[in-house]
Structure formats: C-alpha cells, structure tokens
Amino acid sequence: MGSSLARVTDIASVTPALASGTHQPHDADDPFAIDPILVEVVRNGTIESVHHGRVAVTAPDGSLVRELGAVFAPMYPRSSSKPMQAVGMVRGGLDLPPDLLALVCASHSGEPFHVEGVRRILAGAGLSETDLQTPPDWPIDDEAAEGVIRAGGEKASITMNCSGKHAGMLVTAKLNGWPTDTYRDPDHPVQLAILQTIDDLAGEQASLPAIDGCGAPLYAVSLYGLARAFGRIAAATDGAEVKIAEAIRAHPENVSGTHRDELALHRAIPGLIGKAGAEAVYAVGLPDGTGIAIKISDGSPRARAAAMAATLRRLGYEHPTLDDQAATPVLGHGQPVGAIRPVAAAFERL
C-alpha cells in the first residue's frame, strides 16, 4: 500500500494534477477567489450576508458535467469522507449488519440508539468504549446532551459524533490482528487501506495529509473527486461499495440523527446517499450514479442545505423538503422576516 508520508504536502503542487479534458486548473494560490455567491441571507427584503461556494456534479461514468467555482482545487472533505473510509474498512474485512455499518459512516447525534449501536460494534470484537480514541464530547443532539447531564454524565468518547467510525477502525484492526492502540497512526494498516480506497473511489491521489477534529487521518481531494466517489458508491451493484450504500439507505437515522436536515433529505429522495462534513462540505450520490459535492467557501453550515437543495432542483428533483431547505427562515422576534436562500442566477449557470 505504501506510506502515507509519500503524499503531496504542497498545495501549489496539487491543483494542476487535477485538471482533465478541456477543464483547466484554477489558481492554486487562491481558489476561493473564483467561487461564486451561491447563497444569500435576506432580512426584510435586504441582502444581509452572502456565502460563496463551489459545486461539482458528475455523470454516472464519473465525468464532470456541471461545475461552479474551484472544483479542481484540493479541499478537505472532513466527515464527508466517512462513506469512503467505511468502504475501505469493509474491503479490509469489516463485517457488520447494515444498521451498524451506517454508524461507521456517521457523524451521529449521540442519541441513545447511536450510543448503544457503537457499543454493539465494539462488543462484537471484544472491545469497549475505553478503546476509543475519539476526544470526549457531548452529544450533538440537544435533548441527548440534556439527558446525559441530567443523569450526572460527562463528555465521553462514545458520545462524540465520530465514535462509530473509530469503532469500525478498531474492529477492522482487531479482525486482522493489527495493533488497536495505534489505529489512528497514518501508517497503520487500517489507515493505509482507507487511503488506498479514497484514491480509488475519487479517481485521484489524495494529498495534503492532516488530522481531522476526531484525531483520525484526513486527506484532501478535489470537489470533483468527492462527487465522483459518491456517485460510484451510490450506483454500486456489488462489493464493499454496495454494502455501504445499502446501509446508508436503510438506516439514514444512524448516519446523522433524528432532528438533522440530512435525514430529511434521505427520506425525501429515494435511493440517495449523502454525508455532510465540517466546514460546510456536503456530498450526495444518486442511485443512477450521479454524484454531487458542495463546499461553502467560508465554512458556514447554514448555507450548505440551501445549496444542495438548489442543485438537486436544478437536476430535476422536486419535493417539499427541498423547498423547505432552500428557504430556511430568518427570524425577527421569533417570526420569519426573511430566508437563507440559494442565489437563483448562480444555479442557472450550473
């Protein structure tokens, strides 16, 4: 598999290598400079704020068919990497029922059913939550966090939103007889298997090694590569990819949480698989193999759902959930006085 240390670490060296066909690489020194305004925040008829961003749409054959902004520039997918990472674990021998595989893909809300599921993943391999190396955190879900506090609990590794992914890494290591105490090391066999899988699915060499918020290795790919990867997973008919796609479709509540916009999108669009990431990254695969990836330039999560809804509507999808997510209310004294909405002129160019 090679070493993770061989990866390109200079951003100026990465972007030219991502160009293909008639598309040209964008300026590696400032890729954000060409990202158009995708989303605007309107209060009482006045535009109060705007969010620039980029969108990549790939065809079932993996070709780039629609784009806005610097889609060839390297970017960190953050937790949008998780379905790719999960494919790598399954290729490495991880064998779990679909509900638990969905948790391996998750940035879960820390609700009781999420925590119990992570415990099941660990227990099946003779491991426990003390083996997790996720930083202790409260559940994302407010009700779940309040429940922990009322019960006298504290921040815990298992309620951290990435604990399912870490549990999957631990179990994959245990199954293969690899060390479990160093599973986060970039040169650990689990991480090398994951890195090789990201290269394969994205169709490019991941670069710019980093550490994600949860402590696991993180690599940059282009937004184009991220969209291509999700399209491939969504359209798979066999292998590890189809196991992950079917798990996400069957148990989307395990991938996010009861009150999350991602769950609403999964329920609205049959066959869709999607995963949001920190810094306003969002990737979706459609059952025909179309891939979509979005990055909001300033990292504001409030803009990503509107951008994804607008992209799906541009591709011909219609659903009340898309209408709702394309017009999140802006409040004044608790009453709607505006909306966070996509910029129509931008998406007409997509």
Question: What pLDDT was estimated at residue 31?
Answer: 76
Mean pLDDT score across all residues of the chain: 95
Mean pLDDT of 44-49: 98
- Which of 298, 245, 259, 316 has its CA nearest to residue 90? 245
* Residue 41 CA to its chain's centroid (Å): 24
Question: What pLDDT was estimated at residue 30?
Answer: 75
Q: Are 99 and 251 in contact (CB under 8 A)?
A: yes
Burial class (CB in 10 A: 0-12, 13-18, 19+), 78: buried
Q: Could you tell me which residues are beta bridge partners of residue 14? A: none
Q: Are 221 and 7 in contact (CB under 8 A)?
A: no
Give me the number of domains the chain comprises. 1
Question: What phi and psi values does residue 219 have, to the nearest 5 degrees?
Answer: -135, 150
Query: What digits encode the pLDDT tens for the residues 88-108?
Result: 999 999 999 999 999 999 999
Please report where in the chains the tokens 């994302």 appear, as a residue.
140
Look up residue 165 and give its two tokens: 């992914």
Query: What digits encode the pLDDT tens for the residues 259-318?
Result: 999 999 999 999 999 999 999 999 999 999 999 999 999 999 999 999 999 999 999 999
- Count other Cβ atoms within 10 Å, centred on residue 280: 23
Beta-carbon contacts of residue 7 (< 8 Å; ≥ 6 apart): 205, 206, 207, 208, 209, 219
Look up residue 59 and give its two tokens: 């065809």
Q: Are 220 and 14 in contact (CB under 8 A)?
A: yes
DSSP state of 141: S
Q: Could you tell me which residues are beta bridge partners of residue 340? A: 41, 328
DSSP state of 136: P
Look up residue 76 and give its two tokens: 């960190």
Q: Phi/psi zone of residue 280: left (φ > 0), alpha (ψ -120 to 50 degrees), beta?
A: left
Q: Global pTM?
A: 0.94
Query: What digits encode the pLDDT tens for the residues 203-247?
Result: 999 999 999 999 999 999 999 999 999 999 999 999 999 999 999
CA atoms of 43 and 339, how far apart (whole Å): 7
Helices (H), 32-153: 82-91, 98-104, 112-123, 142-150
Question: What pLDDT was estimated at residue 23?
Answer: 45
Q: Which CA distances in Å does 127 have to 171, 187, 215, 292, 313? A: 8, 22, 19, 36, 45
Domain range spanning residue 234?
4-348
Q: Domain containing 198 — which CATH number?
A: 3.40.710
DSSP state of 137: B
Share of the chain above pLDDT 90, in %: 90
Question: What pLDDT was estimated at residue 7?
Answer: 75
pLDDT at 50 over 60: yes
